[in-house]
């Protein structure tokens, strides 16, 4: 009998698509495979075909009884070779390249919509998953800490008061005029929101995707029946 393959499927409704998270045996351990991620290809089409690299940061957070168990991050860089007309998709540990795959334009969507995470799940844990939940996150071209600090410093030096007042003289009366403008208000609101985001623990980037926390469901393959 072949080694049993245990598959865990987590269905998440997002942007009209179902994100699948599958727990699958890989030799002596289990991998969590995330697929059907709704990567916005049209939004990044020009960037992905420019020959410059695009950075992807993925995160998979596991909870047991609502207590944090593990938080695994994966970093990737993808760029298009304009000469050979192929994409290079690199998996990184910091700035060190761990692995590289090469594929054509026809495989772009498939490679950007699925990600694999190694886990420490045991056979017993794989059979008792009712207390587990998971969250998957993807950030495209994140703003690194140095850039975020520079932006925060610039904001601190360039805040514009929401209101100012000036006195205008007329032939009969002296009027005090509130010179608040919608542009000034919008700018301050933008500054406040951006400053809040930059102080957040969450990574921010050109595109962020986060699933809700969802229960994990176990599905047994035909080989186990």
**Per-residue pLDDT, 199:** 52
Q: What is the CA radius of gyration of the chain?
A: 24
**Which residue from 116, 115, 119, 137 is spatially nearest to 129, judged by alpha carbons?**
119
Rounded distance, CA 81 to CA 84, Å?
6
Q: How far apart are CA 39 and CA 23, in angstroms?
A: 21
Residue for token pair 């598959």? 7
Instruction: List the chain pLDDT tens, one digit each, 225 residues.
Output: 333 333 333 343 334 458 888 888 888 888 888 889 999 999 999 999 999 999 999 999 999 888 999 999 999 999 999 999 999 999 998 889 999 999 999 999 999 999 999 888 888 888 877 888 899 999 998 875 556 666 666 766 665 554 433 333 334 444 343 444 444 544 555 455 455 544 544 467 889 999 988 777 664 555 555
Q: Which domains are assigned to the chain?
A: 6-40+56-75+109-143+204-224 (2.60.40), 145-198 (no CATH)
| pTM strictly above 0.85 | no
Distances (CA, A) of 81 to 57, 103, 118: 21, 11, 29
pLDDT at position 178 is 41
Provide the pairing of β-strand 67-81 with 54-64.
antiparallel
Q: Select from 61, 88, 93, 87 the least CA-distant residue to 74.
A: 93
């Amino acid at each position: 009998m072949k080694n049993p393959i245990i598959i865990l499927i987590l269905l998440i409704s997002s942007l009209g698509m179902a994100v699948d998270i599958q727990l699958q045996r890989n030799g002596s351990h289990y991998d969590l495979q995330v697929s059907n991620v709704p990567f916005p290809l049209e939004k990044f089409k020009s960037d992905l075909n420019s020959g410059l690299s695009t950075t992807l940061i993925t995160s998979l957070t596991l909870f047991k009884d609502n207590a944090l168990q593990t938080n695994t991050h994966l970093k990737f860089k993808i760029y298009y070779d304009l000469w050979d007309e192929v994409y290079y998709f690199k998996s990184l540990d910091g700035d060190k390249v761990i692995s590289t795959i090469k594929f054509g334009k026809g495989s772009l969507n498939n490679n950007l919509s699925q990600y694999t995470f190694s886990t420490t799940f045991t056979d017993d844990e794989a059979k008792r998953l009712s207390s587990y939940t998971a969250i998957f996150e993807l950030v495209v071209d994140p703003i690194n800490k140095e850039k975020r600090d520079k932006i925060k410093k610039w904001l601190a030096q360039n805040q514009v008061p929401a209101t100012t007042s000036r006195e205008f003289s007329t032939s009969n009366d002296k009027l005090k005029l509130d010179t608040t403008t919608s542009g000034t208000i919008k700018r301050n609101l933008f500054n406040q929101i951006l400053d809040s985001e930059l102080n957040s623990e969450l990574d921010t980037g050109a595109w962020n995707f986060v699933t809700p926390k969802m229960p994990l469901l176990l599905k047994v393959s035909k080989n186990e029946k």
